[in-house]
Structure 1
Amino acid sequence: MASILPASNTSMRSDRNKYIGKGFVHVKNPYLDSMDEDILYHLDLGTKTHNLPAMFGDVKFVCVGGSPNRMKAFALFMHKELRLEDSEEDIKDICAGTDRYCMYKIGPVLSISHGMGVPSISIMLHELIKLLYHARCCDVTIIRIGTSGGIGIAPGSVVITDKAVDSFFKPQFEQVILDDTITRSTELDKELAEELLNCSKEIPDFPTLIGHTMCTHDFYEGQGRLDGALCSFSREKGLDYLKRAYNAGIRNIEMECTVFAAMCRLCGLKAAVVCVTLLNRLECDQINSPHDVLAEYQKRPQLLIAKFIKQRLGLHD
């Protein structure tokens, strides 16, 4: 287990009682409160080994993304944007005792990696939500930031998701639990999406739109690609599928949004998905933009979320 970390003592630390509302994080598990100890194994944390309210009680914003390196970069970026008094050297990976995920705390902001695909983000979300619950966090906003494949829009466009849909274009998440198939709603917070869109309008040369996002369980065949080790369909059939997705209002494809939306909704978390597109899938299957262009694209969700958080905290550029 990681050592017990002290609560943040930076100038950005906020007393949770200053926040209006009682939007505490919920868990939907009647067995949790009867447990003597809850070990958050994949985060290297636990209710007996760590003082979770002291460590995380002031968290108001949680940002999650697939890549550990990107989430560390986001943490360092937020440190500069929030003008915190402590040093960048004090920003340590709280999950350093495990090789599954990384987590950084920057004032009221958590930056966490979730890996790739529904199973990986699902495991992380179970333990993250329990962490926020045990820490008695309230009025938390959680945002997934990442990259995606665009459908019918220019590379570099930022898509704010209004509906997270499955491969059949339905706004739902299906999960097999024991021998039952459970269907859960993937509704996201509409006001939060509009607030993020308004923030984007204040950033010059920042193409942003609200649209549906499709979540698939595979990067290759599941997304209609012709360049995987397997391909069981024709070029025409793959392109027809993507065109039908576009006509259904889908503007990008990724691999996590449905379970993210479903779990956050059930547990009382206001959630949003903000992903930049790296290519237009109606034109090609492989990313062919130069590395410097891709690096600039990948920073766009971070820029938008930083502006959103600063506005929420009453900070100005």
Structure 2
Amino acid sequence: MTSSFPASNTSMRSERNTYVGKGFVHVKNPYLDSMDEDVLYHLDLGTKTHNLPEMFGDVKFVCVGGSPNRMKAFALFMHKELRLEDSEEDVKDICAGTDRYCMYKIGPVLSISHGMGIPSISIMLHELIKLLYHARCCDVTIIRIGTSGGIGIAPGSVVITDRAVDSFFKPRFEQVILDNVVTRSTELDKELAEELFNCSKEIPDFPTLIGHTMCTYDFYEGQGRLDGALCSFSREKGLDYLKRAYNAGIRNIEMESTVFAAMCRLCGLKAAVVCVTLLNRLECDQINSPHDVLVEYQKRPQLLISRFIKQRLGLRDQTS
């Protein structure tokens, strides 16, 4: 997948001027223009060491998720669903030279892991967005697929996020830059969310809803859990917080959606978040469903996204 691709500072700058607008991914950093080379360190890629337009120029769909194993499984699933001519053995980790993230390309689909939490997905998104930009990709749709804790809904329900909110139930992402707190909008693409919801209606026995998703910086105290190494509040206060979240329209909790929404919006990417719930937090804190049940739950977002992609590509759906 690697090839030499020498690029001068002048040529990089002229390419940027040419591929602005018209559905192309854009960046918000004037200093990139003065760089002779852009090393995407955590992806083990770069503008001088790889021909990014040749490798990734046809990408139309990017799917990101926390677990490397899950994103590899999704890549293999999409390979089968798209009925590509090459062998599954050809689906290799493009980022094998680093142990931070994994990346697989299946036709026009890119499957990438992002780790757990805002810092990890933020690093990946910076380099992914630059990758799509250098590759001159256009009309890209990016979707986060993952697991989450539900609030007031049955385990196994798939939540399509209409609004990513913080721990105060506000649709914002606060980024500390130098010694300033910068607030960014977490608005997601409403038409994309509706399109995904309509796709879900075509899948039998597939519980799906559109709702707010709360993004926290922590899995335990930050989500009102009583089972961490630390707990500084009462059971009653924790339950009251979750009930207030439900009344505010929040239907699930995870740890990446606000920065994902904010960065994609700033860089012109149509984005969605699709997560399955593994438990109802109004009833319990720990995930205790049998392993086979959890495996089936985790496949649900992948099934929906597969149907969506094939519909966009005009392919007949034959998924069982």
Cα deviations across residues 148-183 of structure 1 (Å, max 9, x unaligned)? 000000000000000000000000000100000000
1:2 deviates by 6.3
What TM-score does the superposition give when structure 1 sets the normalisation length?
0.94
Question: Per the alignment, in what secondary structure is the counterpart of residue 316 of structure 2?
Answer: coil
Equivalenced residue count is: 317
1:20 deviates by 15
Is 2:4–2:48's contact at 8 Å kept on the other side of the alignment?
A: no
Relative to structure 1, is the Cα distance of residues 109 and 95 closer, same or farther in structure 2, using a 3 angstrom cutoff?
A: same
Is 1:220–1:226's contact at 8 Å kept on the other side of the alignment?
A: yes
Is 1:147–1:276's contact at 8 Å kept on the other side of the alignment?
A: yes
Would you identify which runs of 4 or more consecutive aligned residues in structure 1 move more than 4 Å? 1-21
Question: Per the alignment, in what secondary structure is the counterpart of residue 302 of structure 1?
Answer: helix
Relative to structure 1, is the Cα distance of residues 21 and 282 closer, same or farther in structure 2, using a 3 angstrom cutoff?
A: same
Cα deviations across residues 111-146 of structure 1 (Å, max 9, x unaligned)? 000000000000000000000000000000000000
Question: Per the alignment, in what secondary structure is the counterpart of residue 10 of structure 2?
Answer: coil
1:210 deviates by 0.1
Relative to structure 1, is the Cα distance of residues 302 and 254 closer, same or farther in structure 2, using a 3 angstrom cutoff?
A: same
Is 2:225–2:238's contact at 8 Å kept on the other side of the alignment?
A: yes
1:3 deviates by 6.3
Partners of 1:16 and 1:93 in 2: how far apart? 28
Relative to structure 1, is the Cα distance of residues 4 and 117 closer, same or farther in structure 2, using a 3 angstrom cutoff?
A: farther
Is 1:10–1:86's contact at 8 Å kept on the other side of the alignment?
A: no
Is 1:189–1:272's contact at 8 Å kept on the other side of the alignment?
A: yes
Relative to structure 1, is the Cα distance of residues 315 and 9 closer, same or farther in structure 2, using a 3 angstrom cutoff?
A: farther
Cα deviations across residues 30-50 of structure 1 (Å, max 9, x unaligned)? 010210000000000000000
Relative to structure 1, is the Cα distance of residues 194 and 4 closer, same or farther in structure 2, using a 3 angstrom cutoff?
A: farther
1:202 deviates by 0.2
Relative to structure 1, is the Cα distance of residues 297 and 22 closer, same or farther in structure 2, using a 3 angstrom cutoff?
A: same
Identity among equivalent positions (%) equals 93
Q: CA RMSD in A?
A: 4.9
Unmatched runs of 5 consecutive residues or more in structure 2: none
Output aligned runs, 1:1-317, within 5 Å: 22-317=22-317
Relative to structure 1, is the Cα distance of residues 147 and 4 closer, same or farther in structure 2, using a 3 angstrom cutoff?
A: farther
Partners of 2:179 and 2:7 in 1: how far apart? 43
Relative to structure 1, is the Cα distance of residues 70 and 269 closer, same or farther in structure 2, using a 3 angstrom cutoff?
A: same
Is 1:16–1:57's contact at 8 Å kept on the other side of the alignment?
A: no
Partners of 2:30 and 2:126 in 1: how far apart? 14
Is 2:64–2:71's contact at 8 Å kept on the other side of the alignment?
A: yes
Partners of 1:103 and 1:291 in 2: how far apart? 26
Partners of 1:11 and 1:299 in 2: how far apart? 43
Relative to structure 1, is the Cα distance of residues 240 and 130 closer, same or farther in structure 2, using a 3 angstrom cutoff?
A: same
Question: Per the alignment, in what secondary structure is the counterpart of residue 31 of structure 1?
Answer: helix
Is 2:158–2:207's contact at 8 Å kept on the other side of the alignment?
A: yes
1:92 deviates by 0.6
Is 1:2–1:96's contact at 8 Å kept on the other side of the alignment?
A: no
Question: Per the alignment, in what secondary structure is the counterpart of residue 273 of structure 1?
Answer: strand
Partners of 1:14 and 1:73 in 2: how far apart? 39
1:288 deviates by 1.1
Relative to structure 1, is the Cα distance of residues 277 and 69 closer, same or farther in structure 2, using a 3 angstrom cutoff?
A: same
1:22 deviates by 2.0
Question: Per the alignment, in what secondary structure is the counterpart of residue 14 of structure 2?
Answer: coil
Is 2:3–2:51's contact at 8 Å kept on the other side of the alignment?
A: no
Cα deviations across residues 242-281 of structure 1 (Å, max 9, x unaligned)? 0000000000000000000000000000000000000000
Relative to structure 1, is the Cα distance of residues 19 and 267 closer, same or farther in structure 2, using a 3 angstrom cutoff?
A: closer
Partners of 1:32 and 1:76 in 2: how far apart? 35
Is 1:13–1:107's contact at 8 Å kept on the other side of the alignment?
A: no
Question: Per the alignment, in what secondary structure is the counterpart of residue 121 of structure 1?
Answer: helix
Relative to structure 1, is the Cα distance of residues 218 and 4 closer, same or farther in structure 2, using a 3 angstrom cutoff?
A: farther
